[in-house]
Structure 1
Amino acid sequence: MTSARLSEKKPVFVSRIPIRWGDMDAMGHVNNAVFFRYLEQARIEWYSHIGRGENAGLETVVVHCYCTYYAPLAYPGEIEIRTYAGSPGRSSFDIVQEIRRSDTPDTICAIGGSKVVWVDPKTGKSTPLPESIRKLMID
């Protein structure tokens, strides 16, 4: 996914996360696995932002995730994660996220994302996206 193709997606949330010293590895940069934690944190913050309300008792499950790295990150600093939502399906939607350093916002350090399925935790089966969630992605 390139930044240009993000124009096809709807921007839905921006999160800022500090880079912690413990996020770095022996090479002196943020470990590749930590990028997935950053993406997860921003995704959960977006979920909290949109609220559960009428959708209480329903959950999301990540069925696919990826991350492409473009530039290293290192402590100290702060990152900005821009979250975009793709067109929703019956019970799933795509999320694409850009990771940038807050002090150099024109530089994309990584692009990652996930395919998320809306599920009923009682049955473990997919369920149609609630209309209120669908609306957030298409309006």
Structure 2
Amino acid sequence: MQARTASCSCGQLSIEVDGAPLGVGICHCLACQRRTGSVFAALAAFAPPYKVTGTATEYLRLGDRGSRYTFRFCPVCGTNLFHTEAGAESAFVAVAVGAFADPHFPPPEDSVYDCRRHPWVVLPPGTKAYDKDPD
């Protein structure tokens, strides 16, 4: 299996995952825009196990449909590194794609909350766009 490591800006917090991503997506919801400070969040889901090194601060956010997401970020530099969904922790962890610092990382397959996508953001060819969250 291929191990990948994503880390925060200062290097204090990192997560190591194994294997190919279960999926790669981008989210344009307003919560992700505010959380990342960007116009969308790029995330890759990985199956457990994974290894976290360093100390993380947690933030719990409720999704539109009542799902609970625990976001982990570095208390030193503020990088939002990964999150889990309550009840699905044993299924996957979602990691910020940019934190892998790999320009060859696979492109997104899905784009959610496309209704909030900035009009100048162009999706890669073949990306499935969903007006909201398809789940």
TM-score of the aligned structures, taking structure 2 as reference length:
0.25
**TM-score normalised by structure 1 residue count:** 0.25
Q: Which of the two has greater helix per residue?
A: 1
Q: Which has the larger radius of gyration?
A: 1
